[in-house]
Structure 1
Amino acid sequence: MDVRQARTRSKLRNAIYAIAAEKHVNKISVAEVARAAGITRDTFYRHGTSPVELLASFLREDLDDLGRSIGELPATSGTKLSVFDEPERRLLSHIAERSEIYSNALSPRLAGELHDMLSDYIEQGLILHLERHPQIAPVLPGGLPPEEQRRMLVAYAGAGTVGAIEAWLRGENRGSVEEAARTVIAASPEWWLGRTALAVK
């Protein structure tokens, strides 16, 4: 990406974040984003197909910049904490920092593009985690092939996490990121969590 494109993308990011913090994301128009960013509609369409799609892509970039991905985690933490404690806090910190935007995407669930973006982000990390540590998955003899079982396990975990995030965003008393992270992890099956046997009391 050249300097001019990067500058335009930065203007678009700032504009759409500001607008999405003030109104429901499905009501944002291309014209108002272009106007706020100081660009033409044609320039907008060189970067995205719609405001909500562009918003989702910017939020995904923010998530990708968070650091160590789920796919780089060890199988076990060596402590009473889950291997997912830190990644869960980072994810929920991102949601909290952009809470106005995510709240303005609810009706009552997240707008499709943002819901799918979060699900994809979580599921990609979990797929990599299972590929790296296949021994952690439960043995389910008979029935579906192992690959299909893993796909379903990942989809269930991803959808559950996004559902928990939606419930957190809708709550009147959200509490802290730490409290929310503990709650999500408490809802997860032990085999995912990677606590050492000696550490679990």
Structure 2
Amino acid sequence: MAQTKSRSAVALRDAVVELAQQKPADQINVSELCRAAGITRDTFYRYAASPIQLLAQVLNDDLDTYTALTRHLPAAPAGGTVMDAPSRAWLEHVCRFEAVYRQALRPHLPTEMRDVLLTRIQNFMLTHAARHPHIRPNIDGTVMNERGIRLAAAYAASGSVGAIEAWLASGPIGDLAVPTALIHASAAPWWFSPVDDK
């Protein structure tokens, strides 16, 4: 029984990605997804409440690599910044699902898809600030407090997601170094302060 569920889950995940490459994710209905995956509606509802929720799960799982990078962020490499690895990781994720993200733009991503990116990036910024409190800037002579960090992390995440939406809307992603550099150039400089991993 467990193997049957596993095969169904894989079939569903493959099917929702394939369909989302052909049409906006929020226009996929349960019936067509079930036909594509070769399963029943009852089976579908064991895994998700809607096709776009299932797609969000697929995208979220793919970003596990990104989250792994946030746990032990290394010091800035020579010729780069401390944000290079995590920024590249989530942009590589967008590249893997470029057709899915591009189809979904109208002109912004649906909430379910946008929230996956927002949550991962915001959590990374919060983790980074907590691990390296010395990077926090002074605001009117006082080090930025927790409330301020949450505001800054939310701002950084929203800006990053908005930037990639704009980049996708303007044409092929191309060389990842370009959107990475543009996003970094638009970010608050204090996020890029050197860190000590001792």
Is the TM value for this pair above 0.5? yes
Counterpart amino acid of residue 83 in structure 2 = F
Deviations 1:11-68 (A, max 9, x none): 1110000000001111100111111111111111111111111101111100113573
- Residue 158 of structure 2 corresponds to which residue in structure 1? 159
Structure 1 stretch displaced more, 135-144 or 88-97: 135-144
* 1:71–1:127 CA contact under 8 A, matched in 2: no
Query: Percentage identity across aligned positions?
Result: 37
- 1:150 Cα deviation after fit: 0.8
Q: Structure 2 matches for 1:120-159, cutoff 5 A?
A: 120-141=119-140, 146-159=145-158
Partner SS for 1:69: helix
- 1:98 Cα deviation after fit: 1.0
Counterpart amino acid of residue 50 in structure 2 = S
Aligned equivalents of 2:31 and 2:78: distance in 1? 52
Q: Does 1:191 align with 2:190?
A: yes
Aligned equivalents of 2:119 and 2:2: distance in 1? 28
* Ranges in structure 1 where 5+ consecutive residues have no aligned partner: 197-201
Partner SS for 2:63: helix
Counterpart amino acid of residue 90 in structure 2 = L
- 1:194 Cα deviation after fit: 3.0
Aligned equivalents of 1:145 and 1:95: distance in 2? 32
Aligned equivalents of 1:59 and 1:168: distance in 2? 19
- Residue 81 of structure 1 corresponds to which residue in structure 2? 80
Aligned equivalents of 2:21 and 2:127: distance in 1? 33
Aligned equivalents of 1:115 and 1:143: distance in 2? 33
CA separation of 1:182/1:82 partners in 2, compared to 1, >3 Å: closer, same or farther? same
Deviations 1:120-160 (A, max 9, x none): 01111111111111111112248998111011010000000
* 2:16–2:51 CA contact under 8 A, matched in 1: yes
* 1:79–1:195 CA contact under 8 A, matched in 2: no
Q: Structure 2 matches for 1:58-73, cutoff 5 A?
A: 58-66=58-66, 68-73=68-73
- Residue 6 of structure 2 corresponds to which residue in structure 1? 6
Q: CA RMSD in A?
A: 2.2
* 1:71–1:126 CA contact under 8 A, matched in 2: no
* Ranges in structure 2 where 5+ consecutive residues have no aligned partner: none
Counterpart amino acid of residue 129 in structure 1 = H
Q: Which has the higher contact order (CA 8 A, sep 6+)?
A: 1
Deviations 1:89-127 (A, max 9, x none): 121111112111001111100111001111001111111
TM-score (norm 2): 0.90
